[in-house]
């Protein structure tokens, strides 16, 4: 499990910079820098959403397709802590894993 901070306030799972989803998937198979990754689990919040979508917690199971990241082992993130960024995002591609660290450097 990874401590997850998320600044994507427009996502339906975001509660006070924590994620209410128990597991997320980070995309960006060929990424070599953070802005080529994304949170594939992002879902845009709509005005009609009033109910909570789950219990926000500090730790989240993070699956990851960004195979060039040094924290990626067998499509799982093994970083202690990561940040997902994209404060004005309206779709997955406007989010990114800010903690992506390319082992291609």
* Chain positions contacting ligand SF4, by CB under 6 A: 4, 6, 8, 11, 13-14, 19, 21, 24, 39, 41-42, 84, 95
32 or 93, CB closer to ligand SF4?
93
46 or 104, CB closer to ligand SF4?
46
> What is the per-residue DSSP string for the chain?
-EEEEE--TTBTTEETTEE-SSEEEEE-TT-SSGGG-EETT--B--TT--S--S--BSEEEEEE--TTBTTEETTEE--SEEEEE-TT-SSGGG-EETT--BTT-
Least distance (Å) between residue 4 CB and ligand SF4: 6
């Amino acid at each position: 499990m990874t401590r997850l901070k998320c600044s994507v306030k427009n996502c339906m799972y975001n509660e006070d910079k924590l994620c209410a989803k128990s597991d997320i998937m980070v995309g960006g198979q060929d990424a070599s820098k953070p802005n080529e990754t994304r949170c594939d689990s992002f879902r845009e919040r709509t005005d009609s959403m009033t109910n909570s979508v789950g219990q926000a917690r500090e730790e989240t199971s993070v699956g990851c397709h960004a195979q060039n990241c040094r924290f990626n082992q067998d499509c799982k993130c093994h970083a202690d802590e990561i940040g997902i960024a994209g404060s004005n995002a309206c779709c997955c591609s406007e989010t990114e894993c800010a903690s992506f660290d390319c082992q291609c450097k």
